[in-house]
Amino acid sequence: MNDTTTIRPTVPADTPILIELTRGTDIFKPMEIQALREVLDDYHAHARNEGHRSVTGERDGQAIGFAYFAPAAMTDRTWHLWWIVVGRHTQARGVGGELLRHVEAEIRRAHGRLLLVETSGMPHYDLTRRFYLKHHYEQHAVLRDFYSDGDDMMVFRKRL
């Protein structure tokens, strides 16, 4: 596979592919996959007109990942990275890093101040947490037992 990634706005036709890529990572729970479908449907219906953004990463004309990000309501230029996913077979080849740098650049252009990412403290998220640390996110808070008993929310942040 060609190693040039194109990053473009997410379109409605991407939805089934992005859901299958996300399911195929074996990281997310069924209810999270269902939530993603709703998030993408809402995005195309109205959220993108309210400031939410989603970008799709492509190689050789095929969608291989995406990132969804949005301003946090009632804050001064704080943003949330809601989702970032790279398909299982293209992980660890730099695509996630390219998507993350793209997200940060877009938020900076929008004068964003702070970017927050929430993830899980479970062992199967070890590589995900390493990914944020590698990109100079600071582990900022731990909400014990947030997702379920024993499954903490870890909040990472970066000043932009």
Ligand X SMILES: CC(C)(COP(=O)(O)OP(=O)(O)OC[C@H]1O[C@@H](n2cnc3c(N)ncnc32)[C@H](O)[C@@H]1OP(=O)(O)O)[C@@H](O)C(=O)NCCC(=O)NCCS
Find the distance separating the first CA and the last CA of the chain, reported in whole Å. 33
Please choose, out of 31-39, 48-56, 127-135, 137-145, the segment that lies near ligand X by the rule CB under 6 A. 127-135
Q: Is 1 in the site for ligand X (CB under 6 A)?
A: no
Q: How many CA atoms lie within 13 A of 38 on its CB side?
A: 6
| CA 128 to centroid of chain Cα atoms | 11
Residue 59 bridge partners (DSSP): 62
Annotate each residue in 16-35 with x if it binds ligand X (CB under 6 A) or - if it does not, as one string. Answer: ---------x-x--------
Please choose, out of 48-56, 71-79, 124-132, 140-148, the segment that lies near ligand X by the rule CB under 6 A. 124-132
- Please pick, from the candidates 96, 107, 115, 137, the single residue that binds ligand X as defined by CB under 6 A: 96
Query: How many of the chain's residues bind ligand X (CB under 6 A)?
Result: 18
Question: What is the spatial distance between Cα 151 and Cα 143, in angstroms, rounded to a whole number?
Answer: 9
Asked whether 76 and 113 are in contact (CB, 8 A), the reply is yes
Which of these, 25, 13, 14, lies nearest to 84 by C-alpha position? 25
Asked whether 44 and 63 are in contact (CB, 8 A), the reply is no
Please choose, out of 4-12, 36-44, 47-55, 93-101, the segment that lies near ligand X by the rule CB under 6 A. 93-101
- Please pick, from the candidates 39, 84, 107, 115, the single residue that binds ligand X as defined by CB under 6 A: 84
Q: Is 91 in the site for ligand X (CB under 6 A)?
A: yes
* Positions that interact with ligand X (CB under 6 A): 25, 27, 84-86, 91-97, 119, 127-128, 130-131, 134
